[in-house]
């Protein structure tokens, strides 16, 4: 105890000394960055008096003076808050939050404070306006009906009322300036495609609650977005274009590069009661977004190219500088201990070590572990926040080839494992795919995309430059395989737009002679033929095909056979010496026949000792004889993804459920071994978002179907949107940014979704009948019950007048209800239905 006490005295002395030292340090050493200008504010909402502006930034609702200045967050939650709407007295802000799954309508004091939940619904809905008297919130939803519609929510009782339903999509309902009608969008593509032109473009409609009549205000084939009530009765404001931006090319005639104009650019317009438009802004390029209006203040605001602008009626847009000081809600650098989640791995030539990819980083770990608590510790080989992938050992096991994207394309690198020294093999702006070992084990084979694309080889020691073996320019990778003697290359070539629909394409298996520099179409059929592979004895070429309707494995004899197919017996004879492949291409397409009837994923592998065939089917590894007979499972349970063979062919290795597994394919019952690991990893979410943004842009840059990018400057588009990454802190915001980016291309089926991690939606129980939301009395009034079904019975709920409900199963006893629901019970009941 004395020793402990003495130690405490010494520690105290050290602490006092440390405090004294700190006291002598000048505080000037601490520097403050000060408030930083906000770039990328979204979902703008002016207060009714026009003095304050609410907006979304880094996943929260913020409020700042509309003239500029320091912004303050009024919500602070790890999940996404969006779509702020002011109450008419300026004291509350309604907004949408996905903290409960989907989007629920919430409310928070405009100066910040405790939030209140206003709707309980398993779907997703957002507030779009607050009634002039402050009693109701307007929103779009689909509750008991198959169709969507516009609803009002009573903020006092939390009752909701359906105003109307529509079989077509309706969006963004807003009270008109006089409060007597409701403006809304009908139809509409996502707002991230503001230049869309077509029959599905957002139209402007008006609904009269007094008469129930709906009337079209404006529809000209262009989008009309961010609809707001105008400054005068009967007017409206929105964002639209006045001229089409070409996005489709004539056959054989690409459209020229887009030259923007005021008419082509999404700008603010004012609509009169007849739908006539008058443009209020004159931006060229980009587009106005998130229009908001304060009619009583004669002020409007919007976002343009990441900046906030305000504009008085009759004036010019003025940029508003909003600054913010905010600590991060999350620690951007996060330390994780990873023991699963492997995407791919490769086994060393001696079968004693693996290099694997987890969370897009490469690691190595021994197969057989030592003793102690650190036996499973893996060594990190790469730390680039983007994709590090496709490792493959050199034959001597001293190095690996890998692929990663450092600044642009997925390039090929070589790393010596002893010192982690990196050597760049390929350069330029073209991606590398399909790494493999050449049959002679002296070269690595790989595919390069782009104008200089095709199959390449490079010496495994990294001593020489890559050599082109097969020229095949194009934006995507091709399946290919070198013959056992290295002379021939089997590869896939597409028959573009050869199907019934223009997006359907067949493919054929071709063989290229590296000696004569000539290619031969082996299959010659308009069907799907893919995944070529050679038999180890050089006599057959295997491939997968759907030519008979379902997928199966086919083979083609490389030489004419001396007997009919039904009289043939395939027997493996191990070649003596080096394999030499000779091919007779005369009528080779007529020698194709079915080999395996199973649906095989990927190419088959022909083992050189016995000629046995290994393949993956139904998520398991299988083996069959040289003749395709006797197929049997090696593994069970499915779920196998990437797989390969050890250098000595004694083991197959594969990924399953995020783990690494080895199977002894030569032993009875195929013994399995799992390779465990422990990776100590630190991630930086900001760098990951930047890498993901680059990767997303890069994938479209490489593989978008139109190399002209619909006349857009895709590189310049990236530069415009990249600064907005600073506004992103939530997965939904990241998806929004990517949709804004790709929306510039004006192409269909390009929408990006949020990464996994959002809360699961709450389930909403249904009582078996629909509710009459127009009922204002006590309790709930049944609007409609389904037709009687077998086993159903009806009961009267006492005290509810003419209100009934129908159960969907026999009830053992009548439900007892009080003569009148208490206000608390009524609110709970209404809330759960809202």
Q: Is the pLDDT of residue 181 over 90?
A: yes
Q: Which residues pair with 513 in a beta bridge?
A: 488, 518
Task: Decide if 294 contacts 49 (C-beta within 8 A).
Answer: yes
Sign of CA dihedral 648, 649, 650, 652: positive
β-pair partners for 86: 93
pLDDT at residue 789 in the model: 56
Tell me, what's the pLDDT at 10?
A: 38
Q: Is 576 exposed, middle or buried (0-12, 13-18, 19+ CB in 10 A)?
A: exposed
C-alpha 727: how far from chain center: 18
Q: Which pLDDT band holds residue 788 (cuts at 50, 70, 90)? A: low
pLDDT band (50, 70, 90) for residue 499:
confident
What is the per-residue pLDDT for 20? 46
Q: Global pTM?
A: 0.85
pLDDT tens, position by position, 233-271: 889 999 999 999 999 888 778 888 999 999 999 999 999
Residue 498: is its pLDDT beyond 70? yes
- CA 30-36-38 angle, to 5 degrees, is 160
Considering only 22-31, 140-149, 598-607, 640-649, which range has the smallest mean pLDDT? 22-31
Which residue has tokens 């062919």? Answer: 649
Average model confidence (pLDDT) for the chain? 89
Asked if residue 637 has pLDDT above 50, the reply is yes
Give the pLDDT score at 523: 97
Higher pLDDT, 325 or 734: 734
609 and 618 Cβ atoms separated by less than 8 Å = no
Separation of alpha carbons 772 and 733, rounded Å: 37
Judged against a pLDDT cut of 80, whether residue 572 lies above it is answered with yes
Q: Which residues pair with 377 in a beta bridge?
A: 678
The pLDDT, as a whole number, for residue 828 is 37
Helix (H, G, I), strand (E, B) or coil at 650: coil
- Give, to the nearest 10 degrees, the angle between helix 685-703 and helix 714-721: 160
pLDDT band at 569 (very low <50, low <70, confident <90, very high): confident
Helix (H) or strand (E) holding 59, with range, is none
- Asked whether residue 280 carries a pLDDT value surpassing 60, the answer given is yes
Q: Read off the pLDDT of each residue in 527-545 and give the average, rounded to a whole number.
A: 97
> What does the alpha-carbon distance between residue 230 and residue 236 come to, in Å, rounded to a whole number?
4
Region of 667 please: left (phi>0), alpha (psi -120 to 50) or beta.
beta
Q: What is the average pLDDT across 643-663?
A: 97
**H or E segment to which residue 734 belongs:** helix 731-743
Radius of gyration of the chain (CA): 34
* Residue 400, pLDDT above cutoff 80: yes
Check residues 35 and 617 and name the one with the higher pLDDT.
617
- Residue 11 pLDDT more than 50? no
Residue 816 — very low, low, confident or very high, per pLDDT cuts 50/70/90? very low
Number of DSSP helices (H) and strands (E) in the chain, helices first: 5, 61
CB atoms within 10 A of CB 657: 12
Residue with the bigger pLDDT between 5 and 581: it is 581
22 band by pLDDT with thresholds 50, 70 and 90: very low
- Cα-to-chain-centroid distance, residue 393: 32
pLDDT, position 331: 86
CB-count burial class (<10 Å; 0-12, 13-18, 19+) for 750: middle
**pLDDT above 80: residue 490:** yes
Give the pairing of strands 52-57 and 60-65. antiparallel
- Report d(CA 387, CA 405) in Å as an integer: 6
Q: Is residue 476 left, alpha or beta, with left meaning phi > 0 and alpha meaning psi from -120 to 50?
A: beta
Residue % of the chain over a pLDDT of 90: 76
**pLDDT tens string 108-158:** 999 999 999 999 998 899 999 999 999 999 999 998 888 999 999 999 999
Choice between 824 and 724, residue whose per-residue pLDDT is larger? 724
Q: How confident is the model at residue 1 (pLDDT cuts 50, 70, 90)?
A: very low
At 743, the pLDDT band (50, 70, 90 cuts) reads very high
pLDDT of residue 804: 39
pLDDT band at 53 (very low <50, low <70, confident <90, very high): very high
Reply yes or no on whether the pLDDT at 735 is more than 90.
yes
Please give the share of the chain, as a percent, with pLDDT higher than 70. 90
Which pLDDT value is given to residue 406?
65
């Amino acid at each position: 105890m004395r020793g402990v006490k003495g130690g405490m005295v010494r520690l105290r002395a050290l602490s006092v000394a440390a405090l004294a030292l700190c006291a002598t340090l000048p505080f000037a050493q601490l520097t403050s960055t000060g408030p930083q200008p906000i770039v990328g504010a979204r979902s703008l909402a002016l207060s009714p008096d026009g003095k304050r502006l609410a907006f979304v930034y880094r996943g929260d609702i913020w409020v700042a003076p509309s003239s500029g200045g320091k912004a303050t967050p009024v919500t602070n939650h790890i999940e996404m808050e969006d779509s702020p709407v002011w109450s008419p007295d300026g004291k509350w802000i309604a907004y949408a939050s996905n903290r409960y799954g989907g989007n629920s309508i919430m409310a928070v004091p405009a100066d910040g404070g405790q939030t209140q939940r206003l709707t309980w619904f398993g779907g997703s809905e957002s507030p779009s306006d607050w009634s002039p008297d402050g009693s109701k919130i307007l929103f779009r939803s689909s509750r008991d009906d198959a169709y969507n519609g516009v609803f009002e929510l009573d903020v006092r009782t939390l009752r909701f009322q359906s105003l109307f339903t529509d079989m077509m999509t309706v969006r963004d309902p807003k009270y008109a300036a006089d409060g007597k009608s409701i403006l809304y969008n009908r139809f509409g593509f996502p707002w991230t495609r503001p230049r869309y032109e077509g029959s599905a473009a957002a139209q402007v409609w008006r609904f009269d609650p007094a008469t129930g009549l709906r009337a079209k205000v404006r529809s000209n084939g262009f989008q009309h977005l961010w609809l707001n009530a105008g400054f005068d009765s009967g007017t409206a404001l929105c964002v639209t274009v006045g001229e089409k931006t070409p996005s489709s090319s004539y056959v054989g005639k690409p459209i020229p590069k887009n030259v923007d104009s005021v008419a082509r650019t999404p700008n603010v317009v004012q609509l009169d009661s007849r739908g006539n438009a008058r443009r209020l802004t004159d931006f060229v390029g980009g587009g106005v977004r998130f229009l908001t209006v304060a009619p009583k203040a004669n002020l409007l605001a919007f976002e343009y190219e990441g900046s906030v602008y305000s504009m008085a009626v009759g004036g010019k847009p003025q940029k508003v500088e909003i600054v913010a000081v905010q600590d991060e809600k999350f620690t951007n650098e996060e330390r994780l201990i990873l023991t699963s989640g492997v995407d791919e791995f490769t086994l060393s030539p001696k079968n004693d070590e693996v290099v694997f990819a987890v969370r897009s980083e490469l690691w190595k770990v021994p197969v057989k572990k030592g003793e102690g608590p650190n036996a499973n510790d893996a060594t990190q080989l790469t730390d680039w926040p983007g994709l590090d992938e496709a490792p493959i050992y050199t034959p001597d096991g001293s190095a690996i080839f890998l692929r990663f994207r450092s600044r642009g394309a997925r390039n090929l690198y070589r790393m010596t494992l002893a010192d982690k020294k990196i050597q760049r093999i390929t350069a330029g702006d073209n991606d590398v795919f399909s790494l493999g070992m050449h049959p002679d084990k002296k070269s690595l084979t790989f595919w390069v995309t782009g104008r200089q694309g095709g199959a390449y080889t490079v010496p495994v020691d990294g001593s020489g430059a890559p050599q082109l073996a097969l020229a095949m320019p194009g934006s995507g990778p091709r399946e290919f395989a070198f013959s056992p003697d290295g002379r021939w290359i089997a590869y896939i070539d597409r028959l573009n737009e050869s199907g019934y629909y223009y997006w359907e394409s067949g493919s054929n298996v071709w063989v290229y002679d590296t000696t004569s520099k000539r290619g031969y179409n082996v299959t010659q059929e308009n069907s799907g033929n893919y995944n070529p592979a050679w038999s180890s004895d050089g006599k057959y070429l295997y491939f997968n095909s759907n030519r008979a309707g379902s997928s199966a494995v086919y083979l083609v004899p490389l030489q004419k056979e001396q007997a009919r197919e039904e009289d043939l017996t395939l027997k493996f004879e191990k070649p003596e010496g080096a394999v030499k492949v000779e091919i007779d291409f005369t009528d080779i397409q007529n020698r194709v026949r079915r080999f395996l009837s199973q649906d095989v994923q990927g190419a088959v592998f022909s083992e050189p000792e016995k000629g046995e065939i290994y393949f993956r089917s139904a998520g398991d590894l299988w083996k069959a004889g040289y003749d395709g007979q006797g197929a049997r499972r090696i593994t069970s349970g499915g779920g196998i993804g990437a797989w390969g063979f050890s250098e000595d062919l004694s083991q197959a290795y594969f990924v399953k459920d995020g783990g690494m597994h080895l199977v002894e394919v030569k032993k009875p019952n195929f013994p399995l071994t799992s390779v465990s690991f422990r990776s100590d990893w630190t991630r930086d979410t900001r760098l990951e978002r930047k890498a993901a943004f680059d990767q997303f842009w890069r994938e479209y840059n490489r593989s978008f179907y139109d190399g002209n990018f619909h006349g857009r400057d895709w590189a310049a588009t990236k530069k415009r949107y990249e600064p907005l990454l600073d506004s992103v802190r939530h997965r939904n915001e990241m998806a929004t940014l990517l949709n804004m980016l790709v929306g510039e291309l004006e192409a269909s089926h390009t929408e990006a979704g949020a990464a996994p991690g959002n809360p699961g939606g709450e389930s909403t129980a249904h009582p078996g009948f629909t509710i009459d939301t127009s009922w204002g009395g006590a309790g709930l009034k049944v609007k409609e019950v389904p037709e009687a079904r077998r086993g159903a019975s009806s009961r009267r709920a006492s005290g509810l007048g003419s209100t009934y409900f129908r159960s969907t199963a026999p009830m053992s006893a009548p439900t007892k209800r009080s003569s009148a629901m208490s206000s608390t019970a009524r609110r709970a009941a209404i809330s759960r239905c809202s």
